[in-house]
Amino acid sequence: MKNVLITGSSRGIGAATARLFAKEGCNVYINYNKSEEKALELASSLGACAIKADVGNSNEVENMFASLPPLDILCCNAGIGKTGLIQDMSYEEWREIFSVNTDGVFYCIKNALPKMIQRKSGNIVIVSSVLGLRGGSCEAAYSATKGALIALTKSLSKELGPSGIRVNSVAPGAIDTDMLAYLDATEKAEIISSCSVDRLGSPEDVAKMICFLASDDASYISGQIFGVDGGLII
């Protein structure tokens, strides 16, 4: 049975990914930070284990990994958004978004790697964003955090390939989760009109790509960034 940790899986894309990995017979570890009730409920419905840790805090990440078995699959999904003009962003806000979205991925990968390298096997899927590929007005900091993950994915694929570890990224477009709750119906309709597929994405749309990339069916795929964006034209 494969051991899988999905960071930020109390809600949204992470929760859908946890459900799918559990359905595929994996031993699922659900990381959460603030949404304890949701994480515990999901874990109990899946027979999984929920672990609290702020991924932006290296000590909490180390403690989380100390309680985990060696991982076959690490899905770095936890993330936060922040919109607004760059000149209005405080130093603290900039640090916070980088701390969760980018530092958090580094902390988790660093802690997962020793056992993966020892076993010469492992699979890492990083959740980036279409904005990391193309950038977004009023989402410069968020886009920068996600762009960093794309460079990290490509670099680690090269560095870790000889150790039997594959590293890939998904770049979701507009996915209907709490992260888009700040948009009203008109703004959502505008985004949909920029997509080839006439709807917002669902968390399950992204989860399916993550699970595929982590599976043996994707054994010849590494260092790639896969858009799951309904053909978004921005």
Which residues of the chain form contacts with ligand NAP (CB under 6 A)? Answer: 7-14, 31-35, 54-56, 77-80, 100, 127, 129, 172, 174-175, 177-180
Nearer to ligand NAP, 59 or 118 (CB): 59
Cβ-contact 170, 226 below 8 angstroms: yes
Nearer Cβ to ligand NAP (113/179):
179
Alpha helices in 4-128 (DSSP H): 12-23, 36-46, 58-66, 91-98, 104-119
Residue 91 appears among annotated catalytic residues:
no
Residue 181: partners with Cβ closer than 8 Å, 6 or more residues away:
none
By CB atoms closer than 10 A (0-12, 13-18, 19+), residue 75 is: buried
Catalytic one of 29, 142, 182, 220: 142
Torsion sign across C-alpha atoms 216, 149, 20, 71: positive
d(CA 186, CA 73): 38
Tell the smallest beta-carbon distance from residue 59 to ligand NAP (Å).
13
**Phi, psi at 115, each rounded to 5°:** -75, -35
Q: Which residues are catalytic?
A: 142
